[in-house]
Amino acid sequence: MRVIVVGGGVVGTMHAWQAVQRGHEVVQIEREAEARGASLRNFGQIWVSGRAGGEELDTALRARELWERIGAEVPGLGFRAIGSLTPVRTAREHAVARAAVARPDAAARGYALVTAAEARALNPALRGDFEAALWCERDAAVEPRTAQLHLREALRATGRYTFLPGREVRAAAGPGAVRDDHGDVHRGDAVVLATGAWLSGLVRELAPDLPVRRVRLQMMQTAPLGEELTTSVADADSFRYYPAYASPALDELNAGQDQAPVAAAHAMQLLMVQRSDGGLTIGDTHEYEHPFAFDTLEDPYEHLTGVAESFLGRPLPKVRRRWAGVYAQCTDTTRVVHRQQVADGIWLVTGPGGRGMTCSPAIAETTANELGW
């Protein structure tokens, strides 16, 4: 088969990977010189711990397996099976962690409630004060800024892959065909539109009532820490955000009204992971109301800095980068992704939200299976 993939982010690139792995020819089209959206502006975390039970967790676990397999083939992905720690300090936070390890799917996630000393044995950089931590052995990480580049190098080496940057697909041009803004028509046995948060133009024309919204977030990256952060790190505000932690204990935590006002105002959580250069990627906020601001706010960054430093027990290195990003999320947040045939031979795959980096290999695998690749 000949497969046309529109979109150079991680979801699109994983669809290209699935097609090439199954022996097909792929043309991948990207409107920028390189992908610049949420696929790069994220933590690079393969985040199993907070996923909702059922389909979402099954997808994340399958994706985790695929990431590890692909990482062995493409070392440049920087796949690391580092796990995550979520330190807890208060009785309410501790109760949410206990409820998590009592879940029937806790073993599949690799959950364990560890003491502060055990957490520091897993991650000696955590020298701050906390009482215990939720450990998730199945969490992992890759390098988001370079993952697509290395995947494309491996795809090119097969001789069955072409990357066409700087071309915006403007129109459907018949069964299994699209036309770009150079006037060129690309024909295949199947077209997959994996355009991320770009929901206008052709996407709006083909799917005007798309059940997907856009979400904006702020993040930052520091200079090298000077030591190894051996796990990803989250704070207890992540309990409020991820569906795996829903429980009566979480209801009590939310009712306690002890969340920092700035964290509540910006739907914040601390997530922190170390990059291959030693720097830390730290975030994030969530903004849902359009139109989004064009600038970034300092209060959330100051809050994240304080929380990160309280766990590390030391000042953060100098912040070198700050950025905002936007991703597409299904309005029904229980859905992993929106997959829809929008024209003859053309399918749209969008809306994974914050699951995109984690789940993209399994999302692409499911598309390939459903389309009979």
Q: Which string of DSSP letters, residue by residue, matches 220-256? A: EEESP-SS---SEEE-THHHHHSGGG-SHHHHHHHHT
pLDDT at 209: 94
pLDDT of residue 47: 96
- Of 280, 285, 282, the C-alpha closest to 307 is 282
Please write the tens of the pLDDT for every residue from 213-240: 999 999 999 999 999 999 999 999 999 9
Those residues with Cβ within 8 angstroms of residue 283's Cβ, 6 or more apart along the chain or in another chain: 43, 217, 218, 219, 220, 270, 271, 304
pLDDT surpasses 90 at 86: yes
Distance between start and end Cα atoms, the chain: 8
Distance from C-alpha of 49 to C-alpha of 25, rounded to nearest angstrom:
35
pLDDT band at residue 290 using 50, 70 and 90 as cut-offs: confident
How is domain 1-79+142-211+336-373 classified at the CATH fold level? FAD/NAD(P)-binding domain (3.50.50)
Kindly indicate the confidence band of residue 39, based on its pLDDT and cuts at 50, 70 and 90.
confident
The residues, any chain, with a CB within 8 Å of residue 55's CB and separated by 6 or more, are: 336
- Residue written as token pair 């991703």: 327
Residue 365 φ then ψ, to 5°:
-60, -45
| AA letter at 322 | R
Q: What is the DSSP letter of 105?
A: T
- In 3D space, the residue among 144, 125, 130, 174 whose CA is nearest the CA of residue 39 turns out to be 144
Paired with 29 in beta bridges are 6, 164
Question: Once rounded to an integer, what is the mean pLDDT over residues 33-44?
Answer: 90
Which residue, chain included where needed, has tokens 């502006």? 41
* Strand 232-234 to 84-88 pairing: parallel
Separation CA 365–CA 363 (nearest Å): 5
**Residue 154 pLDDT > 90, yes or no?**
yes
DSSP-derived pairing of the beta strands 280-283 and 319-330: unpaired
What predicted TM-score, i.e. pTM, was given to this entire model?
0.97
Q: What mean pLDDT value characterizes the chain?
A: 97
Quick one: which of 288, 320, 319 has its CA closest to 304? 319
Q: Residue 241 pLDDT > 90, yes or no?
A: yes
- pLDDT tens digit sequence for 299-319: 999 999 999 999 999 999 999
Pick from 360, 362, 364: nearest CA to 352: 360
Cα–Cα distance between 252 and 95 in angstroms, integer?
9
Q: How far apart are CA 46 and CA 297, in angstroms?
A: 27
Name the band, by pLDDT with cuts 50, 70 and 90, for residue 40.
Answer: confident
How is residue 75 annotated by DSSP? Answer: G
Mean pLDDT, residues 131-148 taken together: 96
Half-sphere exposure of 263 (CA within 13 A, CB side): 22
* Close Cβ partners of 54 (under 8 Å, ≥ 6 residues apart): none
CA distance 78 to 331: 32
pLDDT in the model for residue 141: 98
Eight-class DSSP state of 355: G
